[in-house]
Copies of this chain bind each other. A is one copy, B any other.
Amino acid sequence: MYIGFSEAETFLRNCKDAVILTHRSPDGDCIGAGFGLKDILAELGVRSRVVCHDVFPARYDFITKADEEEDFEPQTVIAVDIADPQLMGRYEEIYGSRVQLCIDHHESNKNYAEMTLLREKATAACEVIYDLAQYMGVRVTRHCAMSLYTGIATDSGCFKYDCTTPRAHEIAAEMMKRYDINFAKINRVMFDIKSRGKMLLESKISGILEEYLDGRLAIIAVTQDMMREMGVKLEELEGFAPMTIQLETAEVGVLLRQREDGAFKCSFRSANDVNVSKICQALGGGGHAKAAGCTMSGDIDDIRAKITDIVRRALDNE
């Protein structure tokens, strides 16, 4: 059942001993939303614990290590930023079918909870939670503000992407006026810094980008041989697809990563108007208009030719 702020307030004010679920491969938004909500519940006198299938990455320590974990048997189950119970990982089996309240901003939310507070237009789940706290008149502590800012900033690419709402900017402005938080430091940690290994890998990966169709298509293809040579595993190349459309002329970018069985994982990105979801559907995959994927088998040169051909046609049809 979809609910509004009023029902969510009633629920939160009357719940006790809550477990707050976040999605696997946790990002700034689910972590910020989880711990931000925990702070809000604490203001209401409700104990809670944030859980995740994976360990929270160390760069979020300033959010996740704020206080001691309390031990209690959960009476209340809340999910934040989780569109589908499958994303709970090992917590799906325990809690997946008995989530009482889900707070989310994903259009694709499966409506799996008893009550779902969904704001599809919101930049981040953290934006929904901040607005809920304002609606309820609950005090937002400095730690809560830092957590929620982090989620809004990371999901919007630091206010860079299409999904950034005016409200996201307004919340940032309110927080800056009210709290003494080093926002620039949070942003540096979230966006700018990287390990030496990541820097070297980026350096190698961007060096092998290839241009096709007068630069309108960029392909980065990494075979198993190349991975062995670079000393890198397929999983470590996760997150490199956006690099393909950093090329100024690129309309479409594709990252090809060869699996051990020889087939290629293909991650498509669109810089402007080409719908890569349609392209990937035609190739047996799927996804979103600007980010989609599929798997292709065969010789790498044939795959390149096939991709070039289908992207050329998509560009012609624009």
Residues of A near any B CB (own CB < 8 A): 157-162, 164-167, 169-170, 172-174, 176-177, 183-185, 187-188, 191-196, 199-200, 202-204, 206-207, 209, 211, 215, 245-248, 250, 271-272
- B173 adjacent to A169 (CB under 8 Å): yes
8 closest residue pairs by CB, A with B: A169-B173, A166-B173, A162-B184, A193-B248, A166-B176, A169-B169, A160-B187, A203-B207
Q: Nearest chain-B residue to A163 (Cβ)?
A: B184
- Of B170, B172, B184, B196, the contact of A215 (CB 8 Å cutoff): B196
Please measure, in the bound complex, the distance between the C-alpha atom of A63 and the C-alpha atom of B62, giving whole angstroms. Answer: 41
Please measure, in the bound complex, the distance between the C-alpha atom of A193 and the C-alpha atom of B215, giving whole angstroms. Answer: 13
Secondary structure of the A contact surface, majority rule: helix
- A248 adjacent to B194 (CB under 8 Å): yes
Please measure, in the bound complex, the distance between the C-alpha atom of A160 and the C-alpha atom of B184, giving whole angstroms. Answer: 6
15 extra interface residue pairs, beta carbon distance < 8 Å, beyond A166-B174, A194-B248, A196-B209: A160-B184, A164-B176, A166-B176, A167-B173, A170-B170, A188-B271, A193-B246, A193-B250, A194-B246, A195-B247, A196-B211, A196-B215, A199-B206, A200-B207, A203-B204
For A166, list chain B residues within 8 Å (CB): 172-174, 176-177
Please measure, in the bound complex, the distance between the C-alpha atom of A215 and the C-alpha atom of B193, giving whole angstroms. Answer: 13
- Of B177, B246, B272, the contact of A199 (CB 8 Å cutoff): B246
Please measure, in the bound complex, the distance between the C-alpha atom of A122 and the C-alpha atom of B192, giving whole angstroms. Answer: 23
A63 CB to closest chain B CB (Å) equals 17
For A211, list chain B residues within 8 Å (CB): 196
Please measure, in the bound complex, the distance between the C-alpha atom of A100 and the C-alpha atom of B159, giving whole angstroms. Answer: 36
Please measure, in the bound complex, the distance between the C-alpha atom of A164 and the C-alpha atom of B160, giving whole angstroms. Answer: 14
For A245, list chain B residues within 8 Å (CB): 192-193
- Of B169, B174, B191, B247, the contact of A160 (CB 8 Å cutoff): B191
A119 CB to closest chain B CB (Å) equals 16
- Of B195, B203, B271, the contact of A206 (CB 8 Å cutoff): B203
- A183 adjacent to B196 (CB under 8 Å): no
Q: Nearest chain-B residue to A207 (Cβ)?
A: B203
For A176, list chain B residues within 8 Å (CB): 164-166, 169
Please measure, in the bound complex, the distance between the C-alpha atom of A248 and the C-alpha atom of B247, giving whole angstroms. Answer: 25
For A203, list chain B residues within 8 Å (CB): 202-204, 206-207
- Of B159, B169, B209, the contact of A170 (CB 8 Å cutoff): B169
For A248, list chain B residues within 8 Å (CB): 193-195
Q: Nearest chain-B residue to A176 (Cβ)?
A: B166
Please measure, in the bound complex, the distance between the C-alpha atom of A158 and the C-alpha atom of B158, giving whole angstroms. Answer: 7
A245 CB to closest chain B CB (Å) equals 8
Please measure, in the bound complex, the distance between the C-alpha atom of A173 and the C-alpha atom of B173, giving whole angstroms. Answer: 9
